[in-house]
Amino acid sequence: MPVDGPVPWERPDHTAAKHDIYRRYLERWFPILLGGSKAYKSATYAEGFAGPGVYVGGYPGSPIIAIEALLKQVPNPEPVVKMIFVDDDPRCTKMLREQLNSKFPTRPRSREKLPISIELGTCVDKLEPQLDAMDAWEQPILAVLDSWGNVPVTYRLLQRLARNQSSEVIITLGTQHFIRFVSKMGPGADEVFGGDPNWRRIDTMATGQAKRQHILTCYRQTLSKAGFKYLLDFELVDRRGESLYLVFGTNHRRGLEKMKDSAWEVDRVYGVGFRDPRDEQAETLFELTDPALAPLGRLLLARLKNEPKASVRVETLRDFALFDTVYRPEHVIRTLKGLRDNGLVESDRSGLYRSSFVRLAR
């Protein structure tokens, strides 16, 4: 539904950090797909909730950030990059056109090389038809579905994106809408979760944390069922303790690595840190460049408890950190050293290396 209030609006800290992640990831994504001998003939960047392209104070919106990342990292004007921006508020689509004209008074690429579609309507009604109309399928697509609300994205679209080669999704998952209105939501809400009504079990849960975690778990399962092999989800937490989830889906390990690298490089001036949703103590608020490793330690201990009689290769735990936590693989050895120093784990040699084996201390 259209924005309730003035357009443009203030830029929250979450959004500033999130856009920094987008920029850093796009600066990696565009040259990987469009450069070198194995370049694709085209790529598409699509937003289902594009906004007006600017915030109060003149901060750029994600459509501007995406175009700037392309121009910075792919100076060669030959690759075809398609841009699709959908929003259901006419003030936003009008202002976005104005912002594009203002930021890029001289078109940086020809219409054939950089076609841009700005569509008025909902993500559900307009995004998939625009992907069809712009012949985006069978080439890479990055779909940013930044709703801030109840993720009104069809399961069918997620399935098509997961099946499409080298395509990925970045989704903002707002849980509060589901928690507040679960009793009033009809079958359409189940469709967000691939038709599975299991998310409604939040009605039986006592705490907000448990409800949020359950919704996130259900949505991860939805993306996995849709066909995304690798998932990264994390909670962005600002100075006030307010949070939102970002969920990233891809079918390429390299994409997961690059997204995690982008997240960990976010500028600390935004005052936003990460929380790992899998940490039962929900204690994982930390500065991005100086992580607290205790939460990863708890996650590694839980992983090792699944194999109490067997040693586990450190490289296996590095993969666990990459695929199942917000942490990077390079955090693992440092964390294991701390666990060993505290008598919680044992290793097969005095040093800890990727080829080492560790197990719970006896």
The pLDDT score that the predictor gives to residue 289 is 54
CATH domain 13-275 topology: Rossmann fold (3.40.50)
pLDDT of residue 187: 84
Q: If you classify domain 294-360 with CATH, what class do you get? A: mainly alpha
Tokens of 32: 């990987």
In whole angstroms, give the CA distance from residue 283 to residue 167: 33
Model confidence at 300: pLDDT above 90: yes
Whether the Cβ atoms of residue 297 and residue 345 lie closer than 8 Å to each other: no
**How do residues 350-362 score in pLDDT, each as one tens digit?**
899 999 999 999 8
Q: Give 217's contacts (C-beta < 8 A, 6+ positions apart).
A: none
Average pLDDT estimate for 203-216: 90
Question: Residue with structure tokens 């109309």?
Answer: 133
Distance CA 189, CA 197 (A): 8
The answer on pLDDT for 1 being more than 70 is no
How far is the C-alpha of 154 from the C-alpha of 172, rounded, in Å? 14
Helix extents (H) in 104-202: 123-133, 155-163, 176-181, 187-192
Specify the pTM.
0.91
Phi, psi dihedral angles at 144 (to 5 degrees)? -100, 115
CA dihedral 154, 157, 159, 165 (to 10 degrees): -160
What are the sequence ranges of the domains in the chain? 13-275, 294-360
Mean pLDDT for 63-90 is 96
Q: What is the mean pLDDT of the chain?
A: 90
Token look-up 């559900």 returns 124
Provide the token pair at 57.
């104070």
In the chain, what percentage of residues exceed pLDDT 70?
Answer: 94
339: pLDDT strictly greater than 60? yes
| Segment 264-290, tens digit of pLDDT | 888 776 777 777 777 766 555 455 556
Rounded Cα gap, residues 258 and 79, in angstroms: 21
Tokens of 66: 């995406």
Which letter does DSSP use for residue 354 in this model? T
